[in-house]
Structure 1
Amino acid sequence: MAATTHSPTRDSLAKAQPQLGLRERKKLKTRIAIRRATYRLISEQGYEATTIEQIAEAAEVSPSTVFRYFPTKEDIVLTDEYDPVMEAELRARPADEDPLDSIRHVITHRLSTFVQDEREEVIQRTKLLVEVPAVRARMTEAMDTTSELLVHALADRTGRDHEDLDVRVFTAAVLGALREVMLYWAARDHQDDLADLVDRALTTMRGGLKL
């Protein structure tokens, strides 16, 4: 019998989502297995050479199971389980806290945890963002889901409508800043502290460019 592998990411998600039932935990385990197999294969043979069939075999699932969890190969690279966690953490911040301070806390905390638990995966993901146009394009589309979750949380916190333009512009600006930070971090060979870069970007949003 193989030794049980300890998974920091799985542990972090379990703590952040204690309401997960047995079925959901099994789904989470499958998604993580597929994603890890994908990253391992890409590391060995490159993004374009890695096929869904190879990923399925490495993850010990069927190709149809891979497609059931991830519609495209780009989704495997980009999808994680942290969006609902971020939404819950944002809703739990103090009611009188400035929205930018709230979202700064949530994003920097979550990124610090992700980088600490799965640094190699984060590095590989951001490298692919720089190197593979299809992954970068899909990231822009995938951010729509994240945006909707955060828009609803911020609107509810501020007593605004979910379609409020100011809320949607604010959220889009934050996520746009986050995207640029990821690309900047990867382009500089991941030498900087990612959470510090996010903090710097959000500080720029608050104060604007200084001449």
Structure 2
Amino acid sequence: MPDRNSTLRERRRVETQRMIQAHAVRLFVERGYDATTVTEVAEAAGVSPMTVYRHFPTKEDLVLVDQNKQLVAERIVATSTDQPLVRRIGDALIDSAATLVSRGYGNDPEENTQFLLARLRLMISTPALRAKHLDNNYALQQAIVDALGGDAGDDDIAFNAHAAASACLAAMHTALVRWAEDDGQTELPDMIAKALTAAFGDEVVGTGADGQE
């Protein structure tokens, strides 16, 4: 078990990261992404630019870094291997979205929702962030494939895992864009489930990572 000091350090690291990101997103929304410097973000957060870069190596990371990749991978590992690949991935995407809304950035789901919407709108409207989002999407796809055991040496298994992950992420991207356009009127997990159902049918979307109906 980790000692108390290391747990406290990790908690402080996460709190500092969230605080910096909150100030960054607020400034980007108010002033524009390109017009806001990392130094200005540091000043608003009350830290040094070096501290910002320690938590966010690039300016784009200030908007796009989150816990989603780890959450999705953990939920896929918890699913039954008897289920279809797209069912395992889809349930994991829905569950991780629900976690981000409920407690991903604080204890207030409405504040979390507004923060996610602000980040998503910035990503959609800013070319540099769209490019970085594509890189992140590839990283998420690889995390999904790894969680499925798709790169364990069998070419057919790897191909199937990559194809399923790519298709599910394409459906999720459609959901995210529509969610932002609708100003979050639909719950994010429900919007992702709707997109997955449109792509793969009702039988693909379950109710959770355990696959229980």
Category of TM-score, reference length = shorter chain: 0.7 to 0.9
Q: Provide the C-alpha distance between the structure 2 equivalents of 1:178 and 1:103, rounded to a whole number of angstroms.
A: 11
| SS state at 2:185 partner | coil
Aligned pairs (5 A) from 1:143-182: 143-155=137-149, 164-182=158-176
Q: Which residue of 2 aligns with 1:21?
A: 7
- Partner residue of 2:177? 183
Higher RCO structure (Cα 8 Å, ≥6 apart):
2
**Greater Cα offset, 66-75 or 50-59:** 66-75
**Paired residues of 1:112 and 1:195 also in contact (CA < 8 A):** yes
Please, which of 67, 82, 89 is the counterpart of residue 96 of structure 1?
Answer: 82
- Relative distance call for 1:114 and 1:156 in structure 2 (3 A) is same
After TM superposition, give the deviation of residue 163 of structure 1 in Å: 7.6
Shift of the 45–187 alpha-carbon distance from structure 1 to 2, 3 Å rule, reads same
- Give the Å deviation of 1:186: 1.5
% identical equivalent positions: 33
TM-score by length of 1: 0.78
201 and 32 in structure 1: CA distance in 2 versus 1, 3 angstrom threshold: same
Q: Counterpart of 2:26 in structure 1: which amino acid?
A: R
Whole-angstrom CA distance in 1 between matches of 2:156 and 2:56: 28
2:107 aligned with 1:107, yes or no? no
Large movers: runs of 4+ above 4 Å: 156-163
Q: Tell me which of 199, 208, 212 is aligned to 1:205.
A: 199
Residue from 113, 116, 120 that aligns with 2:114: 120
* Per-residue deviation, 1:153: 0.7
Pick from 66, 69, 75: which aligns with 1:83? 69
Which amino acid letter does the alignment assign opposite residue 201 of structure 1? A
Contact 2:151–2:158, Cα closer than 8 Å, also in 1: no
Partner of 1:193: 187
- Confirm or deny: 8 A CA contact 1:56 1:66 kept in the other structure: yes
Task: Please give the root-mean-square deviation of Cα atoms over the aligned residues, in Å.
Answer: 2.6
Letter in 2 for 1:113: T
In the TM superposition, residue 195 of structure 1 has moved relative to its aligned partner by 1.7
Q: SS in structure 1 opposite 2:60?
A: helix
SS of the aligned residue for 2:33 comes to coil
Q: Per the alignment, do residues 156 and 22 of structure 1 end up closer, same or farther by CA in structure 2, a change over 3 Å counting?
A: farther
Structure 2 residue aligned with 1:39, among 17, 22, 25?
Answer: 25
CA distance in 2, matches of 1:21, 1:50: 33
* TM-fit CA distance, 1:169: 1.5
2:126 counterpart letter in structure 1 = V
Question: Is the 2:101–2:113 contact (alpha carbons within 8 Å) kept by the matching residues of 1?
Answer: yes
Aligned residues: 189
Contact in 1 for aligned 2:148/2:161 (Cα 8 Å): yes
Q: Distance in 1 between matches of 2:148 and 2:37?
A: 39
**Shift, 1:36, TM fit:** 0.8
Which residue matches 1:60? 46
Which sections of structure 1, spanning at least 5 residues, go unmatched?
Answer: 1-19
CA separation in 1, counterparts of 2:140 and 2:152?
Answer: 18
Distance 2:86 2:152 in 1: 12
- C-alpha change, 1:201 and 1:38, in structure 2 (3 Å) is same
CA positional deviation for 1:160: 5.1
